[in-house]
Amino acid sequence: MFQNYVNIAFRNLFKHKLYSLINILGLGVGLAACILITMFVRDELNYDTFWSNADSIQRMHTTFNVPGREPFVTVVAMGPAKEAITTYFDEEIEYSTRFNGLRPIVKIGDKSFDENVHWTDPETAEIFDFDMISGDMRETLRDTSSIAINETMAKKYFGDQDPMGKVMTLTVYGLQRDYRVTAVFRDLPHNTVLDFQALVKIVESDFEENFSFLFSQWFSVNNNLFFKLRDGVNPERVTARWDEFADNGVALPLQSLREGTKPSDFIKFSSMPIKDIQLNAVGGGEMKPTGSMMNVIIFSSIAALILVIASINFMNLATAKSTQRAREVALRKVLGASRVQLLFQFLGESILLALCGLVLGLVLVELTSPLYSDFIGKDLVFSYVDPFNLSIIVGLVLTVGIVGGIYPAAVISGFRPAQVLKANKSAETSGSAALRSGLVIFQFAISIALIIAAAAVYGQQKYATNIDPGFNRENLIAIPGVSRRGMVENQQAFKEEVLRLPGVVSAAYSFDRPSTGNESNVSVTIPGAETDQSILIGRQDIDFDFVSTYQIKLLAGRLYDRNVARDSWPSTEGVEAGQILEANILVNKTALAKLGFGTPEEAIGRVIRIGRGEQRQQDMTIIGVLDDTKFQSVRRQMRPELYPLSDSSYLNLTVRYSGDGAAMADQIRAIWERIAPDVPFNFEFVTESVLQEFTEEERTATLLAVFSGLAVLVACLGLYGLASFTAERRTKEIGVRKVMGATVLDIVRLLLWQFSRPVLIANLIAWPVALWGLSSWLEEFPYRMDFWMLLPMCAGAGAIALIIAWGTVGGNAAKVARRNPITALRYE
């Protein structure tokens, strides 16, 4: 009997080639998409699970609740917090460690590079188990002049030589020290939130003199602070007591703490299990870009939807085709087959078909996974020996085979032989036809919604990248690193030489450059105002040429003047405590709104006050208002800014040029290397760095487009199959109509309309759903495209679906309509 089933199954597979092809193709594409997405999702969900202590490692986060602005959320902690928490939570926390990536210049012989070296505490070796190639991490991190490097770095500097014992010189923040390589570890896998090439021990005294903010000061957050809970300790015991810790355990520098307020009103500590970090990024300070739970959810849903669409094809085609099998079923029943036997026979056939689909799907996965891995920036391989993968495969086939096959099998096995064998009756019930249209509507609703979503993500990305940044992004080269030792002393000479290059229009020093995400704030008060509440305003130190180089619009007042001494940022040298300094200042438009100064014209002449340390204060008269410039990601709100004319904290030189950018960069590099040969030269084109901010969105948009395209493809495959079967089923009707005088066009129109209807209804379902979902998605962007832009996208998606459906059905319809009617009418 089984042999008979298998024979019939294979013969049917080959006999109905179109049907089999459509199903296998649809399933193959669907399963491939599903597997690819599963690989991605699984990877995202398994970050940092490989550490032995994965379950008990947490990271401490710091959030500042500054009055008058949205909370400043970071995933980093203050340097002294390390000791503070281990003492305060002595019973709960076993080890804690800091990571601080200082990006030193690493010099070996005459080679010098920027490297991602992290300063860390010895406990790192207790908390994290690194995959060591040689040497010992514990020993290394206990020694102040040992360095642990990864395999890549070992290869880069030492090639095939043994790196152990080699010496490299690290220069950063006033520190210059020779380190001996005493450990080499395998490169961190991609599925961890940690990211560094090398580790050295934190020696706080190294930075005490000028850079104590790095590790020893409470006011600065710049360390990734991980801690390991003691065995069996419930994390609750720490998380529930963070406020208490803030109020008791920390010497917070909140001089302005008013009566009735507690430190925990301003600073919120929290912690997060290391395994949760990748998908629950909360704020700034990550070692590398994290993933997003949103994407994981979106892509998982897409995978499920594509699979649903493919399963629906399966179901639809099988029921549509069932009439053709009616006679076989009837005969089997006459010969004594039970319904259950038939049910299993047909389920078996659909599982066989699903298996064929799976084989195609796996081929597709193999073919596309290198490209896919590359595109999503992960090293993903589909392993066939992995039990999880195997269970996914088996699960998918069974799910699709059974979900897609159970209904048709139930219908077919339920045929009544007497009716079927009476020939002239159609064995199909109107119920299954209605179900089919319902399913087609559902398929197309999904496809249309996905197309709209892809268009919207793409549209938002285009909108965000093309938004007017308030300055001219074209022809700007930004050069970071000018504060590095070796260059900082020569800033003036460097700029002068650059300006002498032909093609250089202008050049300006500034603290920040576009798209860094850096933030430096000062607390501002308004003298004589009713409240003494301070307002946090961003500080961007600039030079005389900044406004003209970036081509920022002056809204009112004047720019800095070299002849006005008061324009320059005054030095505090020799100024007694309690005294008030004076200066002129430029601010941006958003600052006016924050300060409540009305229009730019009205703001000119108003005075704001900041502290300059040791109870000194500084009053600054607003002399000019600049238009808002979006240096920071447009994903964030525009921030208020003031622009001190101060030469002490420049980090970047920006050059406006004309002509060939690459050649210009080379010329600037030559000057840099002559002036500061030990400092690596870096540069970026501002247009590119702005675009880079959106690589994530672009990636999402592209993936969404690809997968929604696949969804539409699979849905159309189904539609094509269905159209052929319907045309088959309606042959008689078409014959009659033709005899009655219908032309080919009439018939084509008839069939097109039959399939346009479900697509049109699908639009009515997809639009509101997509509009609702996407409008709430857009809410998250401070700068977002107009909601009404979604409407043409809806109409476009609907039109695309309709046109594809027409194209799919039309050719077939024309073929059927051209057929001679008598064949249909005579021999039924």
Partner 1 sequence: MLKLHNLSKVYRSDEVETVALNSINIEIEQGEFVAIMGPSGCGKSTLLNIVGMLDSPSSGEYIFMDEDVAGYSEAQLSEIRKHNIGFIFQSFNLIDELTVEENIELALLYHNIPASERKARVAKVMDKVGIAHRASHMPSQLSGGQQQRVAVARAVVGDQAMILADEPTGNLDSAHGQEVMEMLQSLNEEGTTIVMVTHSPAHADYARRTINLFDGHVVTENLRAAE
Give the sign of the dihedral formed by CA 152, CA 154, CA 158, CA 161. negative
Task: Based on the shown chain and the rule CB under 8 A, indicate whether residue 165 belongs to the binding site for partner 1.
Answer: no
Closer of 536 and 824 to partner 1 (Cβ): 824
Residues 677-736 that bind partner 1 (CB under 8 A): 732-733, 735-736
Closer of 528 and 741 to partner 1 (Cβ): 741
* Piece of 435-443, 704-712, 741-749, 764-772 that binds partner 1 (CB under 8 A): 741-749
Closer of 178 and 828 to partner 1 (Cβ): 828
Instruction: Dig out the tokens for 56 from the structure.
Output: 């008990």
Position among 488, 675, 742, 765 found at the interface with partner 1 (CB under 8 A)? 742
Could you tell me which of 97, 128, 198 has the C-alpha nearest to residue 157?
A: 198
Could you tell me which of 622, 478, 646 has the C-alpha nearest to residue 554?
A: 622
Position among 474, 743, 775, 807 found at the interface with partner 1 (CB under 8 A)? 743
CB atoms under 10 Å from CB of 517, counted, come to 13
Task: Based on the shown chain and the rule CB under 8 A, indicate whether residue 825 belongs to the binding site for partner 1.
Answer: yes
Closer of 293 and 435 to partner 1 (Cβ): 435
Task: Based on the shown chain and the rule CB under 8 A, indicate whether residue 6 belongs to the binding site for partner 1.
Answer: no
Residue type, position 681, single letter: F
Residues 519-578 that bind partner 1 (CB under 8 A): none
Closer of 531 and 820 to partner 1 (Cβ): 820
**How many residues line the site for partner 1 (CB under 8 A)?**
20
Task: Based on the shown chain and the rule CB under 8 A, indicate whether residue 820 belongs to the binding site for partner 1.
Answer: yes
Question: In whole angstroms, how close is the CB of 435 to partner 1 at the nearest point?
Answer: 16
Closer of 373 and 726 to partner 1 (Cβ): 726
String of contacts with partner 1 for each residue 185-214, x by CB under 8 A? ------------------------------
Residue type, position 128, single letter: F
Instruction: Dig out the tokens for 428 from the structure.
Output: 């199909």
* Piece of 194-202, 410-418, 742-750, 761-769 that binds partner 1 (CB under 8 A): 742-750
Closer of 467 and 744 to partner 1 (Cβ): 744
Question: In whole angstroms, how close is the CB of 317 to partner 1 at the nearest point?
Answer: 21
292: CB partners within 8 A, 6+ apart? 279, 281
Q: Are strands 617-626 and 580-588 parallel, antiparallel or unpaired?
A: parallel
Distance CA 31, CA 310 (A): 8
Question: In whole angstroms, how close is the CB of 433 to partner 1 at the nearest point?
Answer: 9
Task: Based on the shown chain and the rule CB under 8 A, indicate whether residue 814 belongs to the binding site for partner 1.
Answer: no
H/E stretch holding 724 reads helix 695-729
Beta bridge partners, 267, equal 64
Angle at which helices 339-376 and 293-334 pack, to 10 degrees?
150
Give the sign of the dihedral formed by CA 149, CA 151, CA 155, CA 156. negative
Closer of 326 and 498 to partner 1 (Cβ): 326
Question: In whole angstroms, how close is the CB of 333 to partner 1 at the nearest point?
Answer: 23
* Piece of 26-34, 247-255, 796-804, 814-822 that binds partner 1 (CB under 8 A): 814-822
String of contacts with partner 1 for each residue 408-447, x by CB under 8 A? ----------------x-x---------------------
Cβ distance 28 to 360 under 8 Å? yes
Q: How many Å separate Cα 183 from the centre of its chain?
A: 34
Closer of 383 and 426 to partner 1 (Cβ): 426
Write the CA distances from 644 to 543, 577, 593, 709, integer angstroms.
8, 21, 19, 52
Position among 143, 619, 698, 746 found at the interface with partner 1 (CB under 8 A)? 746
Give the sign of the dihedral formed by CA 327, CA 332, CA 336, CA 339. negative
Closer of 155 and 737 to partner 1 (Cβ): 737
Task: Based on the shown chain and the rule CB under 8 A, indicate whether residue 268 belongs to the binding site for partner 1.
Answer: no
Could you tell me which of 479, 467, 417, 394 has the C-alpha nearest to residue 656?
A: 479
Position among 609, 612, 738, 784 found at the interface with partner 1 (CB under 8 A)? 738
Distance CA 112, CA 170 (A): 9
Closer of 258 and 826 to partner 1 (Cβ): 826
Question: In whole angstroms, how close is the CB of 415 to partner 1 at the nearest point?
Answer: 17
> First-to-last CA distance in the chain?
32
* Piece of 82-90, 202-210, 739-747, 781-789 that binds partner 1 (CB under 8 A): 739-747
Distance CA 102, CA 206 (A): 13
Output phi, psi for 739, to 5 deg: -60, -35
Task: Based on the shown chain and the rule CB under 8 A, indicate whether residue 301 belongs to the binding site for partner 1.
Answer: no
Task: Based on the shown chain and the rule CB under 8 A, indicate whether residue 371 belongs to the binding site for partner 1.
Answer: no
Alpha carbons within 13 A on the beta-carbon side of 810 = 7
Could you tell me which of 391, 382, 387, 386 has the C-alpha nearest to residue 361?
A: 382
Residue numbers at the binding site for partner 1 (CB under 8 A): 424, 426, 732-733, 735-743, 746, 820-822, 825-826, 828
